[in-house]
Amino acid sequence: MKLSIIIVNYNVKHFLEQCLKSVEKAIEPLDAEIIVVDNNSVDGSLKMINHKFPKVLVISNKTNTGFSVANNQGIRIAKGEHILLLNPDTVVQEDTLLKCVEFLDGNENAGALGIKMFDGKGKFLPESKRGLPTPKVAFFKIFGLSYIFPKSKLFGQYHLGYLNRDENHVVEVLSGAFMMIKKKVIEEVGNLDETFFMYGEDIDLSYRITKGGYKNYYFAASNIIHYKGESTKKSSINYVFVFYKAMIIFAKKHFSENHIKTFSFLINIAIYFRASIAIFQRIYHRWSISVLEFFITYFAIYELAHFYQSFMEITFPVKTIKIMIPFYSAVWVICHRAYQNHLPPLKWINLIKGTISGLLILLAAYALLPKTIQFSRAVILLSSILSLTTTFLVRVIFQSFKLGLFENYKKNNQKRLVVGSIDEITRIEKLIRYGDNLSKILKISPHVNQYDAEFDGNIEQLEEFIKINKIDEVIFCSKDLTSRDIISSMANINLKKDVEFKIVPDNSQFIIGSQSIYTSDFFNSTKINHINNSFNKRIKRNFDLISSGVIIIGFPLLIFFKNYRLALSKIHLIIAGKITWIGYINSKKNVDLPKIKPAVFSLNHNGNEIGNEIANKLNIIYAKDYHVQRDLLLLAKQLFSS
């Protein structure tokens, strides 16, 4: 057998399906086998493989063993002369594998090869070719010099940016996303090092191949799509620690003691440097809109107060200015966050609700405040209009310039272009339908020089159509296009703006792209308000925090209520995010429900005995149609029960 393809899968079923379809076409001229090692996926991956790809060999693990262990499982049963380690979030061209095999067969000194990779936006991925991360190279990478001077032979050694990406090169490090290795080489240098759970194992294996006397090649005669970052959020703090700790493992294994100390020192700096950046980015994304809103609202009310004093010929005490203006601004910011106005999309109804809620709170507080720090009611009413205006303008700015949490927001009416047959385009229109908000879809023929009244143009005109019509999203129909056509179209288009490229597999209900997977269920089920969608998770968390504050304020007036005392004892866990106030009823019968945190109180607020069947029904209703008002009512009933 010539080739064994090993794919490690972990909960990326739809990407895996597209990958396997492209691989099956690519191995037609080869004597090859496909081995999928599944790391205990719970998304139906195994069922999909058994149903759609019966010839694929499957190893099903009961736990997530990690990338190295899983690949080694596949290597041990592989029969091919060459082994391909392939990520599931990739798409290969029909001739890619044949060309790679021929290259390895024709180069005796070749131990392994990597490929030219593009992401889901058609951008070249620099990790297609890499240098060894020595202390010097790591220093340039960590402190951004390799990013600033990518083509420099001194600073650009990590991604070898000075090497022409369209030519073959001998390189030091290959990417584990696509790494074809001669089996005899693996037998000589050893399998992947299982010390690496994730990240670093490809660097380690690449280095051992070169130490074994072989060469690693970057192969530019073909290319693939790699939807980079689907299983891992690379801006997360966890990623920073896992990745850089893997680099330390590599250094301890291969570098001298002096180099280890230098490298470990640099890596530890990198960990805290990158982690600090990740924390700052998280704070910026989550709070920048509220911070800006606070200061603009503060300035606007301050100017309003001075204007009101001049107009009415009165003077507010200095204490009033210093204390109440920040207080007013903070109240409106908090109210707008409570109504999720810091999140896209911009909704007028929520802006109005947030403003009215703040106004009612301030009017109520006005009556309780000492006369020495009271503003007039007129200032409160006028400042509510300023708050609404400020909130609206700030969000328009963030949405227009894609700042903060609005960075990746896309309107429902984004402009789309579909390349495929009329039948496939019609099918896709149903998949992406947003009720009455479906924007016009440009229909592009997959055939060059085809001019048909049903189409707006053909694939040869793709780049021009994208630029002139300011297209946001391009969808390719794999039923009507080869993987080679799709990848070539993505790679050869030169665009200034980011465009999402997505693929619809043949006979599939899923549209696959780098940022998301679209399904007909997703688009047509927006009225199912399930508890684990991102909006409701934030609402529930905000409710837990706000109600905790109210419960603390209620002490000691309510201390004689038994459940109130219980609630007070749990507040530290609520604030820490380890538990929630309201949750499912414990039931012995196993029901597949979305996971939520353990709860202080259950839906069964009166504590009466109820059967499993009723409990399960109540749990399902709560999970499928979550409303924070229900949590509020249940918590009130629990707190005030004697």
Average pLDDT over residues 501-530: 60
User: For residue 67, what is the domain's CATH number?
Assistant: 3.90.550.10
Q: Last residue of a domain, which of 521, 543, 559?
A: 521
pLDDT confidence bin for 527, thresholds 50/70/90: very low
Question: What letter does residue 130 receive in the DSSP assignment?
Answer: B
**Does 159 map to a domain?**
no
pLDDT confidence bin for 517, thresholds 50/70/90: very low
> Using alpha carbons only, what angle is made at residue 196 by residues 190 and 198, rounded to the nearest 5 degrees?
120
Average pLDDT over residues 16-24: 95
Q: Last residue of a domain, which of 403, 434, 460?
A: 403
Q: 631: which 2 tokens?
A: 């949590």
Same domain, 610 and 542: yes
d(C-alpha 552, C-alpha 289), whole Å:
28
- Please report the pLDDT score of residue 2 as a whole number: 96
Same domain, 562 and 512: no
Residue range 397-424, pLDDT digits in tens: 988 888 888 876 766 567 889 999 999 9
**Does 39 map to a domain?**
yes
Same domain, 77 and 191: yes
Residue range 99-150, pLDDT digits in tens: 999 999 999 999 999 999 999 888 899 999 998 877 778 778 777 788 889 8
Same domain, 191 and 251: no
Same domain, 369 and 468: no
> Using alpha carbons only, what angle is made at residue 146 by residues 143 and 147, rounded to the nearest 5 degrees?
90
Q: Last residue of a domain, which of 231, 266, 283?
A: 231
Sign of CA dihedral 518, 19, 483, 468: positive
**Does 137 map to a domain?**
no
Q: Domain count of the chain? A: 4
Q: Which residues contact 243 (CB under 8 A, 6 or more apart)?
A: 199, 200
Same domain, 107 and 74: yes
Domain span including residue 453: 416-521
pLDDT confidence bin for 531, thresholds 50/70/90: confident
- Please report the pLDDT score of residue 526 as a whole number: 34
d(C-alpha 616, C-alpha 589), whole Å:
8
- Please report the pLDDT score of residue 606 as a whole number: 66
**Does 482 map to a domain?**
yes
- Please report the pLDDT score of residue 118 as a whole number: 93
> Using alpha carbons only, what angle is made at residue 517 by residues 513 and 519, rounded to the nearest 5 degrees?
130
**Does 134 map to a domain?**
no
d(C-alpha 511, C-alpha 476), whole Å:
9
Angle, to 10 degrees, between the axis of helix 318-338 and the axis of helix 348-368? 140
Question: What letter does residue 514 receive in the DSSP assignment?
Answer: S
**Does 380 map to a domain?**
yes
**Does 368 map to a domain?**
yes
Same domain, 184 and 65: yes
Average pLDDT over residues 197-220: 87
pLDDT confidence bin for 197, thresholds 50/70/90: low
Strands (E) located in 368-466: 416-419, 441-445, 457-458
Decide: 555 and 583 in contact? Cβ < 8 Å.
no
pLDDT confidence bin for 50, thresholds 50/70/90: very high
Amino acid in the structure at residue 306: H
Tell me what the pLDDT averaged over the chain comes to.
83
Half-sphere exposure of 622 (CA within 13 A, CB side): 23
**Does 459 map to a domain?**
yes
Average pLDDT over residues 51-71: 92
For residues 23 and 357, the model is more confident at 23
pLDDT confidence bin for 392, thresholds 50/70/90: very high
Average pLDDT over residues 90-103: 96
- Please report the pLDDT score of residue 112 as a whole number: 97
CA dihedral 574, 578, 583, 584 (to 10 degrees): -160
Average pLDDT over residues 279-300: 88
Residue 170 has pLDDT above 70, yes or no: yes
Same domain, 290 and 432: no
Same domain, 469 and 568: no
| Ranges 84-88, 196-200, 263-267: which has the least confidence | 196-200
Best-predicted range by mean pLDDT (74-78, 129-133, 198-202, 575-579): 74-78
For residues 192 and 610, the model is more confident at 192
Q: Which residues contact 195 (CB under 8 A, 6 or more apart)?
A: 68, 249, 253
Average pLDDT over residues 502-514: 78
Same domain, 516 and 541: no
Strand partners, 7: 36, 86
- Please report the pLDDT score of residue 437 as a whole number: 46
- Please report the pLDDT score of residue 314 as a whole number: 83
- Please report the pLDDT score of residue 57 as a whole number: 97
Same domain, 357 and 496: no
For residues 457 and 58, the model is more confident at 58
Same domain, 377 and 423: no
Residue range 291-342, pLDDT digits in tens: 999 999 999 999 998 888 888 888 887 877 888 889 889 998 999 988 888 8
Best-predicted range by mean pLDDT (63-67, 75-79, 589-593): 75-79
Q: 388: which 2 tokens?
A: 């609404």
User: For residue 446, what is the domain's CATH number?
Assistant: 3.40.50.720
Best-predicted range by mean pLDDT (102-106, 258-262, 451-455, 570-574): 102-106
Average pLDDT over residues 481-490: 89
d(C-alpha 314, C-alpha 431), whole Å:
63
d(C-alpha 127, C-alpha 114), whole Å:
10
Residue range 444-482, pLDDT digits in tens: 999 887 667 889 989 989 998 998 888 888 999 999 999
- Please report the pLDDT score of residue 263 as a whole number: 67
Decide: 32 and 80 in contact? Cβ < 8 Å.
yes
For residues 259 and 542, the model is more confident at 542
